[in-house]
């Protein structure tokens, strides 16, 4: 669609890598699987949505994660005279999430994501595109994954109700292959 994908997780990891003030504040929350405080996230998103490349739309990935974030986003959008067209809820069992995340590997250099079972690199631990080293995110270690799932069920799942009241959410089955899920998602937003 030629619009940016805005991932709050990627933005935070970039800040942690660069050791910015924001990154230093966020790191302890991220490493322990907790959510970074709403105020920090909303401020970061506000700055990002005001950038030029967001004029024609964007995909928000990993945001909002709490009701106050969703309310803050509604306010930001009101000021920007924009609205949310689709909210996609990816339905998947916790056991499959644990399997996917513990086998996820990310490239240190270009951030490309692999999965050791479903989408392994051609050469062990090397990125196919840039030959950077692949690593396991600290928060993709088994104990932290379970904590993140608990946080999801407690703080993020209530958003399903929040957006169903606005009648803009679409639930899709996220248990298939990458290709199948991509097609289901495209069908659900283009129909
Ligand atoms: P993600 O890459 O989306 O899984 O995010 C990784 C971690 O970054 C999360 O476990 C949180 O600690 C933090 N994070 C990312 N997005 C948000 C958000 N919208 N609100 C609070 N914390 C976030």
With a 6 Å cutoff on the Cβ, whether 8 touches ligand 1 is yes
Percent of the chain past pLDDT 90, that is, above it, reads: 90
Interval between CA 108 and ligand 1 midpoint (Å): 18
The Cα angle at residue 153 between residues 147 and 154, in degrees rounded to 5: 90
- Answer whether 23 contacts ligand 1 (Cβ < 6 A): no
Question: Cα(68) to centroid of ligand 1, in Å?
Answer: 15
What does the pLDDT read at residue 5?
A: 96
**What is the spatial distance between Cα 169 and Cα 167, in angstroms, rounded to a whole number?**
6
Indicate if ligand 1 lies below 6 Å from the C-beta of 65: yes
9 pLDDT more than 80: yes
Model pTM? 0.91
Give residue-wise pLDDT tens across range 101-126: 999 999 999 989 999 999 999 999 99
């Amino acid at each position: 669609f030629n619009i940016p994908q805005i991932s709050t997780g990627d933005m935070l990891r970039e800040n942690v890598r660069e050791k910015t003030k924001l990154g230093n504040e966020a790191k302890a929350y991220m490493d322990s699987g907790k959510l970074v405080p709403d105020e920090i996230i909303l401020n970061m998103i506000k700055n990002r949505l005001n950038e030029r490349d967001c004029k024609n739309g964007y995909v928000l990935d990993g945001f909002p994660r709490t009701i106050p974030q969703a309310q803050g986003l509604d306010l930001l959008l009101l000021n920007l005279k924009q609205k949310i067209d689709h909210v996609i809820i990816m339905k998947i069992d916790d056991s499959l999430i644990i399997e996917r995340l513990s086998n996820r590997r990310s490239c240190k250099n270009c951030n490309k994501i692999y999965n050791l079972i479903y989408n392994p690199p051609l050469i062990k631990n090397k990125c196919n595109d840039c030959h950077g080293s692949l690593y396991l995110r600290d928060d993709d270690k088994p104990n932290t994954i379970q904590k993140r799932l608990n946080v999801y069920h407690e703080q993020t799942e209530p958003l399903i109700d929040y957006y169903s009241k606005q009648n803009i959410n679409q639930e899709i089955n996220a248990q298939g292959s990458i290709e199948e899920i991509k097609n289901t998602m495209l069908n659900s937003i283009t129909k």
